[in-house]
Protein backbone atom coordinates (compact mmCIF):
# COMPACT_ATOMS: atom_id res chain seq x y z
CA UNK A 1 0.00 0.00 0.00
CA UNK A 2 2.93 2.32 0.66
CA UNK A 3 4.09 2.02 -2.95
CA UNK A 4 0.65 3.07 -4.14
CA UNK A 5 0.61 6.08 -1.80
CA UNK A 6 4.12 7.01 -2.90
CA UNK A 7 3.29 6.78 -6.59
CA UNK A 8 0.09 8.79 -6.04
CA UNK A 9 1.98 11.57 -4.28
CA UNK A 10 4.60 11.62 -7.08
CA UNK A 11 1.80 11.87 -9.66
CA UNK A 12 0.11 14.68 -7.75
CA UNK A 13 3.42 16.55 -7.46
CA UNK A 14 4.12 16.05 -11.18
CA UNK A 15 0.61 17.25 -12.07
CA UNK A 16 1.11 20.36 -9.93
CA UNK A 17 4.50 21.06 -11.52
CA UNK A 18 3.01 20.48 -14.95
CA UNK A 19 0.19 22.98 -14.48
CA UNK A 20 2.15 25.51 -12.38
CA UNK A 21 5.66 26.33 -13.61
CA UNK A 22 6.08 28.59 -10.57
CA UNK A 23 5.25 25.95 -7.97
CA UNK A 24 8.69 26.23 -6.36
CA UNK A 25 8.44 30.03 -6.11
CA UNK A 26 4.90 29.74 -4.78
CA UNK A 27 5.98 27.28 -2.09
CA UNK A 28 8.91 29.51 -1.09
CA UNK A 29 6.51 32.43 -0.75
CA UNK A 30 4.14 30.41 1.43
CA UNK A 31 7.02 29.22 3.61
CA UNK A 32 8.15 32.80 4.07
CA UNK A 33 4.61 33.85 4.99
CA UNK A 34 4.43 31.07 7.56
CA UNK A 35 7.83 31.94 8.99
CA UNK A 36 7.10 35.67 9.26
CA UNK A 37 3.45 35.49 10.32
CA UNK A 38 2.20 36.70 6.91
CA UNK A 39 4.20 39.92 7.04
CA UNK A 40 4.40 40.84 3.34
CA UNK A 41 7.27 43.27 3.86
CA UNK A 42 9.52 40.48 5.12
CA UNK A 43 8.60 38.29 2.14
CA UNK A 44 8.95 40.96 -0.52
CA UNK A 45 11.77 39.17 -2.38
CA UNK A 46 9.85 35.90 -2.55
CA UNK A 47 6.67 37.68 -3.64
CA UNK A 48 8.48 39.60 -6.39
CA UNK A 49 10.24 36.46 -7.56
CA UNK A 50 6.90 34.63 -7.76
CA UNK A 51 5.31 37.51 -9.70
CA UNK A 52 8.26 37.60 -12.10
CA UNK A 53 7.99 33.85 -12.62
CA UNK A 54 4.25 34.07 -13.34
CA UNK A 55 4.85 36.93 -15.77
CA UNK A 56 7.64 35.06 -17.58
CA UNK A 57 5.64 31.86 -18.06
CA UNK A 58 2.53 33.86 -19.00
CA UNK A 59 4.58 35.48 -21.76
CA UNK A 60 5.89 32.08 -22.90
CA UNK A 61 2.35 30.63 -22.89
CA UNK A 62 1.02 33.55 -24.98
CA UNK A 63 3.93 33.33 -27.42
CA UNK A 64 3.50 29.57 -27.90
CA UNK A 65 -0.25 29.96 -28.35
CA UNK A 66 0.33 32.65 -30.99
CA UNK A 67 2.80 30.38 -32.78
CA UNK A 68 0.46 27.38 -32.61
CA UNK A 69 2.76 25.37 -30.34
CA UNK A 70 0.95 22.79 -28.24
CA UNK A 71 1.02 22.45 -25.32
CA UNK A 72 0.92 26.19 -24.72
CA UNK A 73 2.72 25.70 -21.43
CA UNK A 74 5.90 23.64 -21.92
CA UNK A 75 6.30 20.37 -20.08
CA UNK A 76 8.41 20.54 -16.90
CA UNK A 77 11.27 18.74 -18.67
CA UNK A 78 11.51 21.54 -21.28
CA UNK A 79 11.35 24.52 -18.96
CA UNK A 80 15.00 24.77 -17.92
CA UNK A 81 16.07 24.78 -21.56
CA UNK A 82 13.50 27.44 -22.43
CA UNK A 83 14.60 29.65 -19.53
CA UNK A 84 18.26 29.24 -20.51
CA UNK A 85 17.50 30.17 -24.14
CA UNK A 86 15.50 33.20 -23.06
CA UNK A 87 18.22 34.51 -20.76
CA UNK A 88 20.92 33.84 -23.35
CA UNK A 89 18.96 35.90 -25.90
CA UNK A 90 18.26 38.58 -23.29
CA UNK A 91 21.95 38.90 -22.45
CA UNK A 92 22.84 39.20 -26.15
CA UNK A 93 20.35 42.05 -26.55
CA UNK A 94 21.59 43.78 -23.39
CA UNK A 95 25.23 43.79 -24.54
Whether the bond between 71 and the residue before it is cis, its omega within 30 degrees of 0, is: yes
Q: Which of helix, strand or coil describes residue 30?
A: helix
Average pLDDT over residues 67-83: 95
29-59 pLDDT per residue, tens: 999 999 999 999 999 999 999 999 999 999 9
Q: Domain boundaries in the chain?
A: 2-94
| Model pTM score | 0.80
Amino acid sequence: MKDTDSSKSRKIKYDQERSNPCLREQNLTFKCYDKHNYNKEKCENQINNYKLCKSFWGHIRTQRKREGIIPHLPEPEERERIKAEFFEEYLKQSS
